[in-house]
Amino acid sequence: MVTPEEGTTQRVAEVLAERDAVQANLLELDGSFAKQVLEGAELTGQTRDRWAEASAALAGLWETYLAYSAVVDRVAALGSGARRPARKDLPELSALLTEGCVQLPGAPAPLARRDLATAARPPVTLVAAVGAMRRAFAAVTEVTAAVEAVWTAVAVPLDAAEEALARLRPLVRGLGTDLEAEFRDIAAAVAAQRDAANADPLALWRPAAASAAGASAAGEGSVEVSAATRARDRVLAFEPRVGEADRTRRGARQRIDELEAAVAAARADRQDAIAARQDAQTRVTALPPLPPEISPPPLASLGALADGGQWVRLAAELDRCQAELSAAAGQTADLRAAATGAIDKRDELRGLLRAYKVKAARLGAAEDPALAACYDQARELLWTAPCDLAAAQAAVTAYQRAILER
> Closest Cα to residue 84, out of 20, 2, 1?
2
Strands 221-223 and 205-207: antiparallel
pLDDT of 44 over the 80 cut = yes
- What is the DSSP secondary-structure string of 81-92? SSSPPPGGGHHH
Q: How far apart are CA 182 and CA 36, in angstroms?
A: 36
pLDDT of 36 over the 50 cut = yes
pLDDT band for position 110 (cuts 50, 70, 90)? low
231 near 197, Cβ under 8 Å?
A: no
Instruction: Look up residue 205 and give its DSSP letter.
Output: E
pLDDT of 8 over the 80 cut = no
pLDDT of 160 over the 50 cut = yes
Instruction: Give per-residue pLDDT as tens, 230-251.
Output: 999 999 999 999 998 888 888 8
pLDDT band for position 384 (cuts 50, 70, 90)? confident
Q: How far apart are CA 260 and CA 272, in angstroms?
A: 19
Q: How far apart are CA 216 and CA 205, in angstroms?
A: 14
Instruction: Give per-residue pLDDT as tens, 269-289.
Output: 888 888 878 777 777 877 778
Backbone angles phi, psi at 32, to 5 degrees: -65, 150
158 near 194, Cβ under 8 Å?
A: yes
Give yes or no for a cis peptide into 298 (omega within 30° of 0). no
Beta-bridge partners for 223: 205
6 near 66, Cβ under 8 Å?
A: no
Q: Which of 57-61, 154-158, 301-305, 361-365: highest mean pLDDT? A: 154-158
Instruction: Check residue 117 and give its pLDDT.
Output: 47
Instruction: Give per-residue pLDDT as tens, 173-227.
Output: 878 788 889 999 999 999 999 999 999 999 999 988 654 444 445 558 899 999 9
pLDDT of 292 over the 80 cut = no
Q: How far apart are CA 62 and CA 23, in angstroms?
A: 10
- What is the DSSP secondary-structure string of 284-319? BS-PPPPPPPPPPP-HHHHHHHHHTT-HHHHHHHHH
Instruction: Check residue 205 and give its pLDDT.
Output: 93
Instruction: Check residue 214 and give its pLDDT.
Output: 44
The mean per-residue pLDDT over the stretch 116-135 comes to 79
Instruction: Check residue 212 and give its pLDDT.
Output: 44
Instruction: Check residue 365 and give its pLDDT.
Output: 73
Element (H, E) at 222: strand 221-223
- Mean pLDDT over all residues of the chain? 84
pLDDT band for position 405 (cuts 50, 70, 90)? confident
